[in-house]
């Protein structure tokens, strides 16, 4: 069975669906808060021109999503799958952000649970690249059961170190 990189996933509070070009206004509104990005390696992603590049790459990826609050219908963030490695039975979940109104609650756990459940239909391991100094995202990974792999890594072309967390199918 081939991995479906852009399914629509429905949870109790969230709808996760493939990103579309007309999602720009809602997604940029969710991303335009400088506090979202202060610990992120791309700390200027709240700027329209910088976020436009992120948005365009997400559209072109064929594996990106918008995250919608089912109660309000508002776009509250984004995530995507990346780097499917069939030989290692592994895929990455990354580029995730949620607007600050959804920090500290259940939204991130629900989003990741939906994406993990789908991924584990096809692979044994899901990895998450997190900026080495992004303590907020690192703590969020630990809350959902991510195990830290050894050492730090740098993506090709990147200037910041990352750590990799993994969650294995049980």
- What element of type H or E holds 50? helix 48-61
How many separate domains does the chain show? Answer: 1
Reduced to 3 states, what is the DSSP secondary structure of residue 121?
coil
Domain region containing 99: 9-168
Q: Which residues contact 109 (CB under 8 A, 6 or more apart)?
A: 143, 144
What is the domain-level CATH number for residue 140?
3.40.630.30
> pLDDT (tens digit, 0 to 9) for every residue of the chain, 170 residues total?
799 999 999 999 999 999 999 999 999 999 999 999 998 888 999 999 999 999 999 999 999 999 999 999 999 999 999 999 999 999 999 999 999 999 989 999 999 999 999 999 999 999 999 988 899 999 999 999 999 987 788 777 777 889 999 999 98
Residue 1 covered by a domain: no
pLDDT of residue 110: 98
pLDDT of residue 16: 98
Residue 160 covered by a domain: yes
Strand order in the sheet with 162-168: 9-10, 14-18, 64-69, 75-85, 90-98, 125-131, 162-168, 147-148
Residue 3 covered by a domain: no
Cβ atoms < 10 Å from Cβ of 95: 20
Residue 4 covered by a domain: no
Q: What is the pTM of this model?
A: 0.94
Strand spans (E) along 19-108: 64-69, 75-85, 90-98
Residue 100 covered by a domain: yes
pLDDT of residue 156: 76
In 3-state terms, the chain is what percent helix, strand and coil (to 5)?
Answer: 30, 30, 40
- What element of type H or E holds 13? none
Buried b (16+ CB within 10 A) or exposed e, 149-169: eeeeeeeeeeeeebbbbbbee
């Amino acid at each position: 069975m081939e991995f479906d990189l852009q399914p629509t996933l429905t949870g109790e509070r969230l709808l996760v669906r493939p990103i579309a070009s007309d999602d720009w206004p809602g997604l940029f509104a969710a991303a335009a808060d400088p506090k979202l990005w202060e610990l992120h390696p791309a700390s200027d992603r709240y700027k329209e021109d910088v976020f436009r590049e992120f948005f365009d790459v997400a559209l072109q990826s064929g594996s990106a999503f918008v995250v919608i609050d089912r109660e309000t219908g508002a776009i509250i963030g984004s995530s995507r799958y990346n780097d499917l490695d069939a030989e290692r039975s592994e895929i990455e979940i990354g580029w995730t952000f949620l607007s600050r109104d959804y920090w500290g609650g259940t939204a991130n756990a629900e989003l990741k649970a939906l994406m993990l459940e789908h991924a584990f239909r096809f692979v044994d391991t899901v990895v998450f690249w997190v900026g080495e100094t992004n303590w907020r995202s690192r703590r969020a990974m630990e809350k959902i059961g991510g195990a830290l792999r050894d050492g730090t890594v740098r993506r090709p072309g990147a200037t910041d170190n990352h750590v990799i967390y993994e969650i294995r199918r049980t």
